[in-house]
Amino acid sequence: MKNKVKVFRAMYDLTQEDLAREVGVTRQTILAIEKGKYDPSLELAFRMAHRFQVTIEEIFIFEEFSS
């Protein structure tokens, strides 16, 4: 899954630490999400979307597996 977390952080002038504090996770979690090494829980994805006032789909892009 790809994401635009870094883009939205920049739009709101937030550091990874700022966002982490606001959504209740560690800075390392935000870093891992941004790098695509960790997919957030549905609850965390909703918290992030709520923080940025957008839908989950505007932040996270699901890539279907090709056969």
9-61 confidence digits (pLDDT tens)? 999 999 999 999 999 999 999 999 999 999 999 999 999 999 999 999 999 99
Which pTM was predicted?
A: 0.90
Count of domains forming the chain? 1
- The dihedral built from the CA positions of residue 47, 4, 56 and 1, taken in this order, carries a sign that is negative
27 domain-assigned: yes
54 domain-assigned: yes
63 domain-assigned: no
Q: How far apart are CA 48 and CA 19, in angstroms?
A: 8
Give the CATH number, domain containing residue 36.
1.10.260.40
Q: How far apart are CA 10 and CA 22, in angstroms?
A: 15
Q: How many residues does the chain have?
A: 67
